[in-house]
Amino acid sequence: MENCLFCRIVRREIPSRIVYEDDLVLGFYDIEPKAPVHILLIPKAHIASLNDLTQEHSDIMAHLTLVIPKAAEKMGIKDSGYRVVVNCGRDSGQAVAHLHYHILGGRAFGNDFG
């Protein structure tokens, strides 16, 4: 998608601090971290949100999910634990319409998802 922020990051038109990359996914630091470690993991292909997933995305989503613990290990939070957040749509506060996993760690989280 031409003007999608995260597609532009994939194309290196906007700089980011990349922590993981393979053919299908990209992981990079969130620009406004909400925890000592806060990275975003995205499919390189443009998928706007969870609501836009189809059966055709099964392989890429399985892969994206399998990369989560690899990225967490690389960031040093695999054993201490981490939170994975996906926002979808208006009420969630999703600001960027390109599906992304937030991976947050380096501190303890409560059970308040407020």
Binding marks (x or -) toward Zn ion, 18..57, rule CB under 5 A?
A: ----------------------------x-----------
Work out how close the CB of 98 gets to Zn ion at its nearest, in angstroms, rounded to a whole number: 3
Please say whether the beta carbons of 68 and 29 come within 8 A: no
Contacts to Zn ion from residues 84-103, by CB under 5 A: 98
Closest CB to ligand 5GP among residues 32, 79: 32
Binding site for ligand 5GP (CB under 6 A): 5, 14, 16, 28-32, 40, 87, 93-96
Report the C-alpha gap between 110 and 57 in whole angstroms: 32
> How far, in Å, are 23, 35, 36, 90, 102 from residue 85 at the CA level?
23, 13, 15, 15, 5
What DSSP state is assigned to residue 84? Answer: E
